[in-house]
Amino acid sequence: TFQKMKKILLVTHHDLSDPGIISSLLHSKYLTCNINYKNLPLLKQSDIKEYAAIIIFGGKMSANSKSRYIKNEYKFLSNAIKLKKTIIGICLGAQIIAKFYGSIIQKSSNKEVEIGYRSTKRISNSIINDRTKFLQFHNEGISINSNMELLSSGNLFNVDAFKIKDNNVYGFQFHPEVTAKMIKNWYGNLKSIDKGTDTINKILKDHKIYHQKNYFWLNKILNKIIN
């Protein structure tokens, strides 16, 4: 019998966003649909209901942005949570989820950023393996809130990965989905090289070392969370 494929909604924050290896990982098992965050108000509650899971990607804007698009994104998130949807946030996506639940999103006290491969300190949950390193690419971090079960903490900020208690909602501050091409694009778009930024050569060298481990980890995690 033909089994109905689960539908996954990918929310991106740039006109030419690349979901990286997530697309290829989901492609064979699920139907994926990409939507730009500016178009989220076009989705009705009945549309959101159709998706088995929602993945919210990173972006250059801040989770603290007062733009109407980001405000609409919080409304969309609120609707998806009411519908008990499985939600995964990556980088900005994780920050938006965390802020919705009460976290403060802010720059580090010494204005340092995290750009480069860093280890993540595993807390309690088996889904994070602290023997591998993930790409960090952010200048703001997440504080802990009472709705959150901490899965791993970062070097610069308290929260690197979390699950929302009583919900199948996860946030990952790091980028397990990146390709070398994405790294070059993002690095090329940096306005300034702030303290805490690795050189592009070091990042690409680390990418070669860790990308396969990240791929296997991501594949396992997506299947675990979505199913």
Instruction: Note whether 65 and 34 are within 8 A (CB).
Output: no
Neighbours of 124 (CB within 10 A): 9
Gap between the Cα atoms of 102 and 124, Å rounded:
21
Tokens of 134: 């993930």
Gap between the Cα atoms of 214 and 133, Å rounded:
8
DSSP type of residue 37:
G
> What single-letter amino acid sits at 30?
Y
Res 17: pLDDT: 73
3-state helix, strand, coil in the chain (%, to 5): 35, 25, 40
Q: Which residue spans within the chain are E strands per DSSP? A: 7-12, 31-36, 53-56, 86-90, 105-106, 114-119, 121-122, 133-138, 141-142, 148-153, 161-164, 169-172
Of the candidates 134, 151, 160, the one whose C-alpha atom is nearest the C-alpha of residue 214 is 134
Gap between the Cα atoms of 51 and 156, Å rounded:
35
Residue 90: which residues within 8 A CB-CB, separation 6 or more? 55, 56, 57, 58, 171, 172, 174, 175, 176, 177
Res 1: pLDDT: 43
Res 93: pLDDT: 98
175 backbone φψ class: left, alpha, beta (φ>0; ψ -120 to 50): beta
Q: Please list the rounded mean pLDDT of every run of 10 residues in the chain (227 residues).
A: 79 85 90 95 96 96 97 98 98 98 95 94 73 91 96 91 96 96 94 94 97 93 92
Structure confidence by residue, pLDDT tens digits, 44-66? 999 999 999 999 999 999 999 99
